[in-house]
Amino acid sequence: MIVRTLSELENTDRDVRADTWKSRRLLLADDKMGFSMHDTVLYAGTETTMEYKNHLEAVYCIEGRATIEDCATGEVHDLTPGVMYALDQHDRHVLRVIEDFRVVCAFNPPCTGAETHDEDGAYPLLTAD
């Protein structure tokens, strides 16, 4: 059984930060669960373009407010607590954060924790081995 708290992840290699967000990696590939789970906060007033070419991602909003734009269609959705979105087609998208936006994300295949966004906003496909 794996039991973790956010506070024990603070200031460890599972506490990853970038200019527009911070992400606490609750589960990673080396946990052998078949997916990774992240508690992520995106900062108010920021805009982040992403396209996970190597991963599928499901995101559940628990705090804050943002919009997500599908770059292929231009369609924009409001994101508030209780809303889930899934990037089931490796969708290129833009997140525009209105209020600090806290989400729980699941990635398949699981992230190792060493990934950083590339110039396209994607994570490389890394393995825990």
Which CATH superfamily groups domain 15-108?
Jelly Rolls (2.60.120.10)
List the pLDDT tens digit at each of the 129 positions of the chain.
999 999 999 999 999 998 999 999 999 999 999 999 999 999 999 999 999 888 999 999 999 999 999 999 999 999 999 999 999 999 999 999 999 999 999 999 999 876 665 566 555 555 666
- For the question of whether the overall pTM of this predicted structure is more than 0.85, the answer is yes
Are residues 57 and 126 in contact, defined by beta-carbon separation less than 8 angstroms? no
Tell me if 123 sits within 8 A of 52, measured CB to CB: yes
Burial 45-72 (b: 16+ CB within 10 A, else e): ebebebbbeebbbbbebeebbbebbbee
- Give me the pLDDT at residue 120, please: 62
Domain boundaries, given as residue ranges, for the chain: 15-108
What's residue 117's pLDDT? 56
Task: Give the pLDDT score at 113.
Answer: 78
In DSSP notation, 66-114 reads EEEEETTT--EEEE-TT-EEEETT---EEEEEEEEEEEEEEEESPP-S-
Q: How far apart are CA 12 and CA 7, in angstroms?
A: 10
CA–CA distance, 42 with 62 (Å, rounded to integer): 12
Element (H, E) at 6: helix 6-9
The whole-number pLDDT of residue 118 equals 54
